[in-house]
A and B are shown apart, each in its own frame.
Chain A
């Protein structure tokens, strides 16, 4: 370990770390100790090209770049001296010499490091009258990204990202000196499953995503911390919300989960929140076989009546329950209570499977399969066998992951089931078999916790309010339990209270509740999951 002092902070730093890394490790970088930087990124190799992070170090005759200067025991660093201030002004002036003044039409404006640092550390006016570099303003780099060469400050973050993270290496810096430009190899595109991260790490408005650009000014967005629901990785995101709408996901740094990245597929799942596919009201299947909108009370009464008929006539053995890996731990805790109260056995979990990779993407395409398993919902094979054998007269299904080709496929097997109660957020062919449909909320519309593939419990909160009728599974099931007249069901659902009580039901959740996990999550207790 090395003891160093940076301004008024005494730090114990692991040998081999550089100054910026040490400040980042200590959580001080731009959060107590301001060392502005462009090319340095905590999760990419050091480049040392932007020269903005210069600091004064005792014993060094000249300023040093903090990003690439290893710490040494006894080092004394000053980041706010007159020499540092002048160096930053000089670097900013050089970076701005060729930068176009198109902030009013630039999508990065408002979250632009060049704007921020020019304001904080720049000189305020230009001393040049020479024309700025005229380059390509709108280069189509591939399916997801548009590139403005004039705005680029050549920090090479995008170049390093493509080489180091997806390891596809599409981008390079061509030519030299003031002719340098970033381009792809002739005839190839920036096209990889993580391509849109380059727009996040681009400190200026050079790289923008085709999806988000020109949709809304970022200063109108309120960023709500949440979790991506695209797969079991549980990547932390900021939900950019305005007008009761989610405009984008951007990765939220969590070194224990997704570092600073998110896959393109996951990033685009924000579109599911406000999609036209959402189930927008409860529905009941009439005598004529047509599914019609109904009030929640009528739908719940009908669901309860159907379940009660089967329970009274045949018993709980004729009722199948399928949990959704999209529901929160709290929702599933209510389902678990209901299942136990009805003495239903073999309540199963259905999870749609898909591709995975070595970086982030997990095969289970849902955010909370691990949580569902921790709450006792298991393999659906036995349930499917009973279903196909005609042993089930009623089915309570959450979500439509049963339609995975490895499980039900198209869902015709449900046609023979007398009563299918479906709780789901999006339309699917499963509705064809449903007698009662209850609309549920997306993770971006409720309080709850989700357990990722590695057993990390992470919380979500309402970022938007659905403009239609939708309830969390926990609330619907609490009311269904009350409609069934079950003891301990008063029809009320307080997700944070349920969260605190989760540990009583499954010891792995002991002390791991909505309030205690914070915005970065906590792992399930050992041996619990």
Chain B
């Protein structure tokens, strides 16, 4: 079993909030990803068992949403919002700068496993664009130098 008892209990609590078990699949995927940092094929199989779905159906959901990852990621998840308002305020240029600073492309992880960089759709912080998210923390009104310093400060 790769999903812990605690996470399973939390998943059952989520399931209780929905008329059908499968309704809680998205919260469950978040819980599993919180526990492991990603959703492995083994956990997809276990989730399929919990939700009475086929493993491929769980995997379809994991692949459909780009906030779920099916393989290990870096220690820090850096997401740059590149949706329209942020892009109008330079988010794409920011992303290019961060890509060359880290030497990776969006969607990749640095060789030392320190940082995974990714695009993010709207994070609801349009007024503070450009912005990025490190883990659960928003960093707003950024220019390239500030953003690079932020990344350099990550362990």
Q: A residues touching B (Cβ–Cβ < 8 Å)?
A: 163, 169-176, 184-188
**Contacts of B41 on A, CB cut-off 8 Å?**
185-187
Contact A185 B64 (CB under 8 A): no
Within 8 A of A (CB), among B1-58: 41, 44, 54-57
Contact A172 B59 (CB under 8 A): yes
Contact B63 A171 (CB under 8 A): no
Bound-state CA distance A186–B64 (Å) is 16
B155 at the binding interface (Cβ < 8 Å) = no
Q: With A186-B41, A187-B41 known to touch, is A176 a contact of B64 (CB < 8 Å)?
A: yes
**Contacts of A175 on B, CB cut-off 8 Å?**
63-64
What would 12 A/B residue contacts be, using CB atoms closer than 8 Å? Answer: A163-B54, A169-B56, A169-B57, A172-B56, A172-B59, A174-B60, A175-B63, A175-B64, A176-B63, A176-B66, A185-B41, A185-B56
A169 to chain B, nearest CB (A): 4
Point out the residue from B54, B59, B66 that lies within 8 Å of A174, measured CB to CB: B59
Q: Which residue of A lies closest to B64 (CB)?
A: A176
Bound-state CA distance A188–B64 (Å) is 20
Contacts A170-B56, A187-B41 known; 12 new A-B pairs at CB < 8 A: A169-B56, A171-B56, A172-B59, A173-B60, A174-B59, A174-B60, A175-B64, A176-B66, A185-B41, A185-B56, A186-B41, A186-B59
Bound-state CA distance A131–B60 (Å) is 26
**Contacts of A185 on B, CB cut-off 8 Å?**
41, 44, 55-56, 59
Bound-state CA distance A320–B63 (Å) is 66
**Contacts of B56 on A, CB cut-off 8 Å?**
169-172, 184-185
Q: Which applies to chain A's interface (DSSP): helix, strand, loop or mixed?
A: loop
Q: Which residue of B lies closest to A176 (CB)?
A: B64
Bound-state CA distance A275–B55 (Å) is 41
Q: Which residue of B lies closest to A175 (CB)?
A: B63
B76 to chain A, nearest CB (A): 24
B103 to chain A, nearest CB (A): 24
Q: Which residue of B lies closest to A186 (CB)?
A: B41
The 6 closest A-B pairs by CB, nearest first: A172-B56, A169-B54, A174-B63, A186-B41, A172-B60, A185-B55
**Contacts of A163 on B, CB cut-off 8 Å?**
54
**Contacts of A187 on B, CB cut-off 8 Å?**
41
**Contacts of B55 on A, CB cut-off 8 Å?**
185, 188
Q: With A185-B41, A186-B41, A187-B41 known to touch, is A172 a contact of B64 (CB < 8 Å)?
A: no
**Contacts of A172 on B, CB cut-off 8 Å?**
54, 56-57, 59-60
B2 to chain A, nearest CB (A): 14
B38 to chain A, nearest CB (A): 13
Bound-state CA distance A172–B54 (Å) is 10
Q: B residues touching A (Cβ–Cβ < 8 Å)?
A: 41, 44, 54-57, 59-60, 63-64, 66
Most buried by B among A169, A172, A173, A184: A172
Bound-state CA distance A185–B43 (Å) is 12
**Contacts of B60 on A, CB cut-off 8 Å?**
172-174
Bound-state CA distance A185–B45 (Å) is 10
**Contacts of A170 on B, CB cut-off 8 Å?**
56
Bound-state CA distance A171–B59 (Å) is 10
Bound-state CA distance A174–B39 (Å) is 14
**Contacts of B44 on A, CB cut-off 8 Å?**
185
Most buried by A among B54, B57, B66: B54
Q: Which residue of A lies closest to B48 (CB)?
A: A185
**Contacts of A188 on B, CB cut-off 8 Å?**
55
Q: Which residue of A lies closest to B60 (CB)?
A: A172
Q: Which residue of A lies closest to B55 (CB)?
A: A185
**Contacts of A184 on B, CB cut-off 8 Å?**
56
Bound-state CA distance A172–B63 (Å) is 10
A252 to chain B, nearest CB (A): 30
Q: Which residue of B lies closest to A169 (CB)?
A: B54
**Contacts of B54 on A, CB cut-off 8 Å?**
163, 169, 172
Bound-state CA distance A184–B57 (Å) is 11
**Contacts of A169 on B, CB cut-off 8 Å?**
54, 56-57
Q: Which residue of B lies closest to A167 (CB)?
A: B54
**Contacts of A173 on B, CB cut-off 8 Å?**
60
Bound-state CA distance A163–B55 (Å) is 12
**Contacts of A186 on B, CB cut-off 8 Å?**
41, 59
Bound-state CA distance A176–B66 (Å) is 9
Q: Which residue of B lies closest to A184 (CB)?
A: B56
Most buried by A among B41, B44, B55: B55
**Contacts of B59 on A, CB cut-off 8 Å?**
172, 174, 185-186
**Contacts of A174 on B, CB cut-off 8 Å?**
59-60, 63
B64 to chain A, nearest CB (A): 5
B107 to chain A, nearest CB (A): 11
B63 to chain A, nearest CB (A): 4
Bound-state CA distance A143–B66 (Å) is 32
A36 to chain B, nearest CB (A): 27
Bound-state CA distance A188–B41 (Å) is 11
Bound-state CA distance A175–B44 (Å) is 15
Bound-state CA distance A185–B41 (Å) is 8
Most buried by A among B56, B63, B66: B56
B7 to chain A, nearest CB (A): 21
Bound-state CA distance A173–B54 (Å) is 13
**Contacts of A176 on B, CB cut-off 8 Å?**
63-64, 66
Q: Which residue of B lies closest to A172 (CB)?
A: B56
A46 to chain B, nearest CB (A): 18
A358 to chain B, nearest CB (A): 19
B28 to chain A, nearest CB (A): 18
Bound-state CA distance A184–B59 (Å) is 10
A41 to chain B, nearest CB (A): 19
A152 to chain B, nearest CB (A): 15
Q: Which residue of B lies closest to A163 (CB)?
A: B54
Bound-state CA distance A188–B42 (Å) is 12
A176 to chain B, nearest CB (A): 5
Bound-state CA distance A173–B58 (Å) is 11
Q: Which residue of A lies closest to B45 (CB)?
A: A185
A204 to chain B, nearest CB (A): 21
Bound-state CA distance A188–B54 (Å) is 12
Bound-state CA distance A175–B63 (Å) is 5
Bound-state CA distance A187–B40 (Å) is 12
